[in-house]
């Protein structure tokens, strides 16, 4: 019996969005009488935090406090079309649509403020705290509630905007595969350290140390949670999960959480990551998609680490204890116990 240690690395790219028949999302923004901005969408939050980051992007572009922005989603009667939440696309696509809508609404807001302040709209700016002021003389200012009230009841103006972002369809050339299937690429590199118990075939992932490059982060805490949750799912894929434990045999298909093997908190490795920010060319505030990639890179890193530990190259996942014990029979690192019989 021995415990073998190994390290493995993996470096990956992950595309943001897709081009399926054109990949659009829309946003509509309007201000209420008192200067609350409602962003209407039909987009879905899977738990990654879309409702939060979209409000951040909207507030930033409008130049109003985060608290003044409401997200109204998802209802097909009131929210304009969104392709959906998948392909690491939502923050990129919906964010871009919201920026466009917010710029249009902001323009009206500044025009109304300009009337009230007797200034030119070009000379105005927002302070992000709920005021619009004259650049260079910040004491000449008006609060957003007063601007919204004036727009509604004095000038008859709708402080609103429409936003539409589309990644146009790129047909795939059937002969060469020439295509433009995505908007940008995020990148990750993971270093995994594992320990393999040669008696039981069990693998302990000791650590996952990784660098993620995700464009700019709208909300670093939410990016962090994607990275940790994704790393855990990647580890789970690498070592445990499948609906067909003896693929291609369809037998032993699990029907419950007791049968479908997913690791729990005890299996959580030490996870350390660094996030690099290189703004993307076309993402809102330089964003790239992060949601899917975080689960991808740990898989080969862990499997390479196991191969490194046992001295046998593994070529499939999940690498269950049974598969590791079989691989160990071929390992030059282990002295074979004397075999009896054939």
DSSP state of 340: P
Q: Which parts of 73-112 interact with other proteins (CB under 8 A)?
A: 73-77, 79, 81-87
- Residue 248's φ and ψ, nearest 5 degrees, are -85, 0
- Shortest distance (Å) from residue 130 CB to other proteins: 11
x/- string (CB under 8 A) for other proteins, residues 6-35? -xxxxxxxxx--x-xxx-------------
Residues 6+ apart with CB under 8 A from 339: none
| 3-class SS letters over 207-256 | EEEEEEECECCCCHHHHHHHHHHHHHHHHHHHHCCCCCCCCCCCCCCCCC
CA distance 261 to 154: 64
Closer CB to other proteins, 33 or 66, in the complex: 66
Mapping DSSP to helix (H, G, I), strand (E, B) and coil, where does residue 162 land? strand
Residues 6+ apart with CB under 8 A from 274: 210, 211, 212
Q: In the Cβ-directed half-sphere of 289, how many Cα atoms lie within 13 Å?
A: 25
Q: Which parts of 320-339 interact with other proteins (CB under 8 A)?
A: none
The answer to whether 3 touches 79, Cβ cutoff 8 Å, is no
- Shortest distance (Å) from residue 254 CB to other proteins: 5
CA distance 132 to 246: 65
- Shortest distance (Å) from residue 155 CB to other proteins: 27
Q: Which parts of 293-312 interact with other proteins (CB under 8 A)?
A: 293, 295-297, 299-301, 303-304, 307-308
Q: Is 258 in the site for other proteins (CB under 8 A)?
A: yes
DSSP state of 6: E
* Residue in 247, 326, 329, 336 binding other proteins, rule: CB under 8 A: 247
- Residue 98's φ and ψ, nearest 5 degrees, are -65, -40
Respond yes or no: is residue 104 known to be catalytic. no
CB atoms within 10 A of CB 66: 12
Closer CB to other proteins, 52 or 146, in the complex: 52
Closer CB to other proteins, 2 or 244, in the complex: 244
Q: Which parts of 43-72 interact with other proteins (CB under 8 A)?
A: 43-49, 51-52, 55-57, 59-60, 63, 66, 71
CB atoms within 10 A of CB 140: 15
Q: Which parts of 151-190 interact with other proteins (CB under 8 A)?
A: 172, 174-182, 184-185, 187-190
Q: Which of 277, 292, 316, 329 is catalytic?
A: 292
Q: Is 121 in the site for other proteins (CB under 8 A)?
A: no
What is the distance in angstroms between the CA of the first residue and the CA of the last residue of the chain?
23
Closer CB to other proteins, 142 or 205, in the complex: 205
Stretch that binds other proteins, among 107-115, 131-139, 158-166, 284-292 (CB under 8 A): 284-292
Closer CB to other proteins, 154 or 326, in the complex: 326
- Shortest distance (Å) from residue 310 CB to other proteins: 13
Size, binding site for other proteins by CB under 8 A = 142
Q: Is 270 in the site for other proteins (CB under 8 A)?
A: yes
Q: Whose CA is closest to 39, among 94, 85, 114?
A: 94
Stretch that binds other proteins, among 109-117, 132-140, 285-293, 331-339 (CB under 8 A): 285-293
* Residue in 212, 290, 309, 312 binding other proteins, rule: CB under 8 A: 212
Q: Which parts of 223-242 interact with other proteins (CB under 8 A)?
A: 223-225, 227-233, 237, 241-242
Handedness of CA 107, 108, 109, 115 (dihedral sign): positive
Closer CB to other proteins, 155 or 204, in the complex: 204
* Enzyme catalytic residues: 292
């Amino acid at each position: 019996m021995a415990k073998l240690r190994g390290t493995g690395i993996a470096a990956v790219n992950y595309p943001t969005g897709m081009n399926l028949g054109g990949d659009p999302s829309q946003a509509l923004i309007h201000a209420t009488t008192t200067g609350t901005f409602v962003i209407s969408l039909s987009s879905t939050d899977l738990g990654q935090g879309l409702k939060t980051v979209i409000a951040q992007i909207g507030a930033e572009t409008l130049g109003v406090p985060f608290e003044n922005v409401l997200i109204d989603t998802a209802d097909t009667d009131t929210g304009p079309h969104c392709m959906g939440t998948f392909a690491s696309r939502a923050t990129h696509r919906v964010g871009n649509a919201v920026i466009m809508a917010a710029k249009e609404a902001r323009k009206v807001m500044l025009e109304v403020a300009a009337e009230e302040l007797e200034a030119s709209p070009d000379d105005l700016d927002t302070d992000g705290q709920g005021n619009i002021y004259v650049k260079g003389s910040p004491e000449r200012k008006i609060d957003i509630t007063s601007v919204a009230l004036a727009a509604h009841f004095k000038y008859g103006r709708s402080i609103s905007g429409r936003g539409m972002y589309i990644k146009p369809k790129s047909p795939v050339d059937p002969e060469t595969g020439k295509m433009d299937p995505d908007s940008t690429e995020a990148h990750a590199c993971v270093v995994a350290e594992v320990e393999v118990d040669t008696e039981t075939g069990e693998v302990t992932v000791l650590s996952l140390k990784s660098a993620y490059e995700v464009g700019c982060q709208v909300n670093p805490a939410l990016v962090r949670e994607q990275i940790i949750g994704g790393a855990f799912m990647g580890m789970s894929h690498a070592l445990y999960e499948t609906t067909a434990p003896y693929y291609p045999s369809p037998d032993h298909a699990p029907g419950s959480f007791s049968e479908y093997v997913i690791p729990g908190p005890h299996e959580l490795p030490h996870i350390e990551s660094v996030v690099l920010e290189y703004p993307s060319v076309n993402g809102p505030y330089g964003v790239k998609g992060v949601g899917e990639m975080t689960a991808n890179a740990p898989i080969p890193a862990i499997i390479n680490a196991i191969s490194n530990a046992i001295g046998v190259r593994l070529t499939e996942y999940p690498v269950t204890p049974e598969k590791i014990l079989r691989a160990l029979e071929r390992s030059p690192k282990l002295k074979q116990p004397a075999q009896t019989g054939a």
